[in-house]
């Protein structure tokens, strides 16, 4: 891509329909003012939460109503900002919405400490008096479970009020990386200028011209070198905030605190890392195949994104990609498939990159809106897979809303990444079964291998990095830019042993926005492992397994993550799903190696 269009140049049909939330900014202002006035209503219940069943129900329902309204206001502001992160007006709206959300959390902060004054038996008695409280049974169980890590109402209010402060490092990083940093323009083999952006960087590293890839790689990471001290300071303070907050809640480590929130045992994290390390030879095999496919003596870091097929792959327009994705979802049932098709027609997706647009992709929206998907579609197979991925998140939200009240609509990332990756795996199966073009099939097989490499191995590498960074902070060691570079370089050398690990790749940690959501990325790796197990079962057993999977999606956060996955037939407390995924990866590598011969 030689230039990035202004947003006004993108056809409306390829933009999301935020007017379905608020027809105008004036309507947003009215909603903002209305919910702002309601936030203080919560304070009238302070000290009375557990007085009787009726009062408890009233305060929980009022809190949910307010949080629903706040979430809509915040989602609109954020998505408008993400359309153009340089727009000062929407930056301001987003900041106001974040302050409002912080105020609402602060106003409600007394509820859970007061709830923890109850015993499970006392809550059961309240349900007998007020049956509507049964809706909150799992929520109350979760609150009581966390009693040892919940502070007094006064401290909880203070921690809630500090939410903006503790999250400031991530905000600084977002503005620096998306709005302020300017990456260079490099010439391609024809002498045409190509602008490097956050969104197209990895796509440019798939170009067949090796010297062009090298210059893109060097130009991109040299720009990060220019801001390395600022980024290191932001990340250091993000890690420090994680550690301090964990200590404030009586956890020994930040990792323990992060995993205890969704009630995922730390052993799951450790099992993932250990199992991946036991199978790192498969990744080395993949790297060696890349070296052979490229016909080079040394595999360099700017070669890693090159497909085994040796070229950029077929152009794939967005409309064709949507057709492939919808067809691939047939095993999940007619209702699931048709809802995806209708959503694509109803402007769920903001498709193309434009000047200032938030990089990457995500599925957003709220309990009271349609789903919204941000993309930066690049007309390639990888972008098609990203679309399938985000639609998995969106449909998870839709099916959850069908069955669950608001309190259980915010499902944990641990299970969310399963929903997205099931769609990817089904897309791979569908394309390999239906597309006859041998070159296209090679690219699909390569995409599967790259998805496992980048999701299972790469995210586990990231998980090791952030675990070690937090450990260093907890032990009082300084997190300087040099220390973080050394840490990342060492991990990269372990994972990609056959490749040349240079100084520039040591800065790669700087470009990973997920590090500002601590202990988040490992869930991509567990997610793809669980998803491949679920897809195997659906393809083997048919509708009965698909029904179990849809039941899992409809549960939202009504149960704890490991219990939810058991509904879909997966035991993530063991290494079996990870081992199965890695075994499949190894088999696919052998298949591709046979094609190369």
pLDDT digits (tens, 9 = 90+) for 169-190: 999 998 999 888 999 999 998 8
499 backbone dihedrals φ, ψ, rounded to 5°: -100, 160
pLDDT in tens, 54-66: 999 999 999 999 9
Region 109-118: what's the mean pLDDT?
93
Angstrom distance (rounded) from CA 266 to CA 570: 18
CATH topology of domain 187-310+412-597: 1.10.1370
Q: What b-and-e string marks burial along 531-540, b requiring 16 or more CB atoms within 10 Å of the CB?
A: bbbbbbbbee
pLDDT in tens, 443-476: 888 989 998 999 999 999 999 999 999 999 999 9
Region 530-549: what's the mean pLDDT?
95
Burial of 14 per CB tally in 10 Å (0-12, 13-18, 19+): middle
Residue 443, pLDDT score: 87
Angstrom distance (rounded) from CA 597 to CA 593: 6
Region 468-490: what's the mean pLDDT?
97
Q: Which residues pair with 364 in a beta bridge?
A: 372
Q: Which of 83, 390, 398, 424 is catalytic?
A: 390
User: Please, which pLDDT band fits residue 481 given cuts at 50, 70 and 90?
Assistant: very high
What proportion of the chain, given as a percentage, has pLDDT over 90? 84
Higher pLDDT, 327 or 587: 327
N-term to C-term CA, the chain? 33
pLDDT(80) > 50: yes
Residue 52, pLDDT score: 96
Q: Collapsing DSSP states into helix, strand and coil, what is residue 391?
A: helix
What proportion of the chain, given as a percentage, has pLDDT over 70? 99
User: Please, which pLDDT band fits residue 3 given cuts at 50, 70 and 90?
Assistant: confident
Cβ proximity of 367 and 401 under 8 Å: yes
Compute the residue count for the chain. Answer: 597
Q: What b-and-e string marks burial along 118-130, b requiring 16 or more CB atoms within 10 Å of the CB?
A: beeeebeebbeee
Residue 235, pLDDT score: 96
Give the rounded distance of the alpha carbon of 152 from its chain centre: 32
Cβ proximity of 582 and 449 under 8 Å: no
CATH topology of domain 18-166: Butyryl-CoA Dehydrogenase, subunit A; domain 3 (1.20.140)
Strand segments (E) across 107-237: 185-187, 193-195
pLDDT in tens, 368-412: 999 999 999 999 888 999 999 999 999 999 999 999 999 999 888
Active-site residue, 390 included: yes
- Domain(s) labelled CATH 1.10.1370.20 in the chain stretch across 187-310+412-597
Residue 532, pLDDT score: 93
Residue 141, pLDDT score: 96
- Helix (H), strand (E) at residue 350: strand 349-350
Rg (CA), the chain: 24
Mean pLDDT score across all residues of the chain: 94
Residue 107, pLDDT score: 94
Tell me the C-alpha to C-alpha distance, in Å, between residue 516 and each of 173, 220, 361.
9, 21, 16
pLDDT(108) > 70: yes
Nearest alpha-carbon partner for 123 in 113, 135, 133: 133
Residue 1, pLDDT score: 41
Tokens of 167: 């999250």
User: Please, which pLDDT band fits residue 150 given cuts at 50, 70 and 90?
Assistant: confident
Angstrom distance (rounded) from CA 153 to CA 145: 17
Residue listed under structure tokens 């030689």: 2
Tokens of 497: 């042993």
Residue 165, pLDDT score: 85
412 backbone dihedrals φ, ψ, rounded to 5°: -70, 150
**Three-state DSSP string of 283-343:** HHHHHHHHHHHHCCCCECHHHCCCCCCCCCCCCCCHHHHHHHHHHHCHHHCHHHHHHHHHH
Cβ proximity of 203 and 188 under 8 Å: no
Region 23-32: what's the mean pLDDT?
98
* Least confident span in 144-158, 339-353, 535-549, 565-579: 144-158
* Least confident span in 155-169, 251-265, 517-531: 155-169
pLDDT in tens, 326-377: 999 999 999 999 999 999 999 999 999 999 999 889 999 999 999 999 999 9
Region 114-133: what's the mean pLDDT?
96
Cβ proximity of 490 and 465 under 8 Å: no
Angstrom distance (rounded) from CA 229 to CA 240: 16
Burial of 39 per CB tally in 10 Å (0-12, 13-18, 19+): buried
Residue 2, pLDDT score: 42
- Domain(s) labelled CATH 1.20.140.70 in the chain stretch across 18-166
Tokens of 95: 């900041």
């Amino acid at each position: 891509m030689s230039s990035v269009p202004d947003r006004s140049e993108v056809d409306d049909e390829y933009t999301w329909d935020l007017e379905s939330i608020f027809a105008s900014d004036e309507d947003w202002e009215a909603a903002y003012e209305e919910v702002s006035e309601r936030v203080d209503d919560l304070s009238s219940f302070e000290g009375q939460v557990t007085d009787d069943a009726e009062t408890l129900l009233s305060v929980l329902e009022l809190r949910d109503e307010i949080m629903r309204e706040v979430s809509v206001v915040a989602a609109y502001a954020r998505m408008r900002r993400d359309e153009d992160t340089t727009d000062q007006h929407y930056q301001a709206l987003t900041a106001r919405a974040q302050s409002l959300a912080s105020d609402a959390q602060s106003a409600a902060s007394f509820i859970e400490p007061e709830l923890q004054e109850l015993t499970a038996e006392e809550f059961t008695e309240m349900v007998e008096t007020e049956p509507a409280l049964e809706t909150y049974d799992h929520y109350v169980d979760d609150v009581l479970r966390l009693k040892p890590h919940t502070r007094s109402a006064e401290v909880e209010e203070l921690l809630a009020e500090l939410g903006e402060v503790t999250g400031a490092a991530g905000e600084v990083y977002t503005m620096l990386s998306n709005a302020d940093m300017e990456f260079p323009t490099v010439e391609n083999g024809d002498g045409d200028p190509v602008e490097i952006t956050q969104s197209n960087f990895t796509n440019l590293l798939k170009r067949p011209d090796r010297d062009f890839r090298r210059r893109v790689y060097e130009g991109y990471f040299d720009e990060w070198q220019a801001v390395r001290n600022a980024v290191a300071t932001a990340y250091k303070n993000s890690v420090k905030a994680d550690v301090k907050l964990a200590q404030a809640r009586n956890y020994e480590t930040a990792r323990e605190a992060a995993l205890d929130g969704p009630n995922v045992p730390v052993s799951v994290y450790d099992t993932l890392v250990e199992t991946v390390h036991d199978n790192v030879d498969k990744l080395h095999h993949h790297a060696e195949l890349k070296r052979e496919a490229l016909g080079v003596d040394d595999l360099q870091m700017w070669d890693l994104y090159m497909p085994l097929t040796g070229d950029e792959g077929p152009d794939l327009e967005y409309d064709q990609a949507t057709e492939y994705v919808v067809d691939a979802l047939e095993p999940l049932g007619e209702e699931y498939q048709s809802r995806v098709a209708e959503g694509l027609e109803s402007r769920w997706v903001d498709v193309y990159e434009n000047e200032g647009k938030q990089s990457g992709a995500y599925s957003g929206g709220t309990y009271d809106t349609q789903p919204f998907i941000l993309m930066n579609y690049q007309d390639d197979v990888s972008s098609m897979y990203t679309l399938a991925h985000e639609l998995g998140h969106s449909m998870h939200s839709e099916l959850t809303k069908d069955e669950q009240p608001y309190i259980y609509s915010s499902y944990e990332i641990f299970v969310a990444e399963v929903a997205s990756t099931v769609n990817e795996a089904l897309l791979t199966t569908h394309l390999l079964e239906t597309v006859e073009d041998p070159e296209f099939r090679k690219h699909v097989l390569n995409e599967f291998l790259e998805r496992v490499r980048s999701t299972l191995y790469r995210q586990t590498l990231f998980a090791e990095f952030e675990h070690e960074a937090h450990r260093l902070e907890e032990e009082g060691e300084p997190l300087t830019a040099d220390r973080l570079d050394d840490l990342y370089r060492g991990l990269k050398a372990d994972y990609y042993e056959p490749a040349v690990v240079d100084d520039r790749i040591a800065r790669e940690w700087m470009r990973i926005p997920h590090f500002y959501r601590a202990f988040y990325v490992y869930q991509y790796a567990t997610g793809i492992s669980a998803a491949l197990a679920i897809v195997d079962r659906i393809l083997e057993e048919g509708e009965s397994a698909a029904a179990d999977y849809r039941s899992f999606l409809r549960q939202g956060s009504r149960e704890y993550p490991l219990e939810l996955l058991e509904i879909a037939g997966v035991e993530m407390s063991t290494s079996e799903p990870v081992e199965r995924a890695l075994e499949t990866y190894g088999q696919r590598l052998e298949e591709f190696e046979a094609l190369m011969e």
